[in-house]
Amino acid sequence: MTDISNNIDLSNNNNNLNNSILENSILENTINEITINENTVKNHNNLMSPLTTPMRTPQKLTFNQQEILEKFSNISNEDELSDLKEFVIFKHQWNTLQKNNNHIIKDCKSDKRLLDLKYDTLTNWINNIQTSVIFFSTISGFLQATRIQFSIPDTIIAIISISISTYITLLLSISKYYKLDELKERIQNLREKYVTLHNRLEYRIDTLTPWFDRNLWIYHNPQEKLKEWTIIYNEMQTDYEDIIKIKKDLVSEFEIIMDTISRNKYMIVNIKQDNHTRTKFYKLQKESNKLEQKFKKRNLPARQKSIIKLQHDVDSIDPTENIV
């Protein structure tokens, strides 16, 4: 009986021990779960704290503002910018305007250059005619006034006076026949019109230049930028129609004054003069470079940029300059 009683007591002790171990395990798991939940709450609060801090967030964001921020706040490089529909629309419109401006200004500058050459030729002719008239008129008056002092026979004085008068009449008649003064005046008026058109085109180019920078779109709302650009684009389109009409009138006047023979003639003159100017400029540039080296050795200010205008400056205008 004693053995049976001992076995019963031993079995009860084992059961109590097992129950105690089980209760400790349940308690430990419960504590771990509470700890995990507390950490989760803390992390959640840490993540939410910047949004709940009044100093770091705006007072209220509407749905549209929040949508814009989420959609466009990550546009931070040119690769993402190139995929935007708004930027693609802008790019094609900008390229078209710039190409049209360069094309018109290149044609107009070439035409004006030929007009300048012809105007220079006419000016030289008219100046020579007027100078010779003044010179020979003065000689004729001088001889008539001093014929007694120099004992010049009246017959010789009469012949000289008649010859000079005939020469002057001939020159003035030829000048009037070819309408040199009138042609010179027409060319000058046309040159002034071309200058006005050039300034207008250069103003358009200056207006477009700031928009050439792609960084202007980064971290901005593309829809708002497109609205700003659309206002400028519509104004330029309206202005471009007027420019086309002006160019049509100028080209008509130009072709009346400068026929094909004259254009070919002055194109050759232009090339020769440009080559001559570039040759002289090359020699002067070599001297200038040597002088600049001396300046650098002595830490003197650098030379100023040259203001010489060459015909190849006009030829270098690229009508295909685009936003890539």
How far is it, in rounded angstroms, from Cα 152 to Cα 272? 50
Which of the four pLDDT bands, split at 50, 70 and 90, describes residue 212? confident
- Choice between 247 and 56, residue whose per-residue pLDDT is larger: 247
Helices and strands (H and E) in the chain: how many: 9, 0
How far is it, in rounded angstroms, from Cα 122 to Cα 115? 10
Asked if residue 319 lies in contact with residue 95, where contact means CB atoms within 8 angstroms, the answer is no
Is residue 210's pLDDT more than 70? yes
Is residue 1's pLDDT more than 70? no
Which of the four pLDDT bands, split at 50, 70 and 90, describes residue 218? confident
Is residue 315's pLDDT more than 90? no
Is residue 283's pLDDT more than 60? yes
Helix, strand, or coil (residue 54):
coil
Which of the four pLDDT bands, split at 50, 70 and 90, describes residue 314? low
Is residue 2's pLDDT more than 80? no
SS3 readout for 180-213:
HHHHHHHHHHHHHHHHHHHHHHHHHHHHHHHHHC
Q: Which amino acid is at 143?
A: L
pLDDT for position 8: 42
Asked if residue 321 lies in contact with residue 98, where contact means CB atoms within 8 angstroms, the answer is yes
How far is it, in rounded angstroms, from Cα 289 to Cα 296? 10
pLDDT for position 48: 39
Domain boundaries, given as residue ranges, for the chain: 2-57, 85-123+179-315
Whether the predicted model's global pTM rises above the 0.95 cut: no
The 10s digit of each residue's pLDDT in 226-266 is: 999 999 999 999 999 999 999 999 999 999 999 999 999 99
Percent of the chain with pLDDT over 70: 68
Of the spans 19-28, 206-215, 225-234, which averages the highest pLDDT? 225-234
The 10s digit of each residue's pLDDT in 73-112 is: 445 555 567 678 888 899 999 999 999 999 999 999 999 9
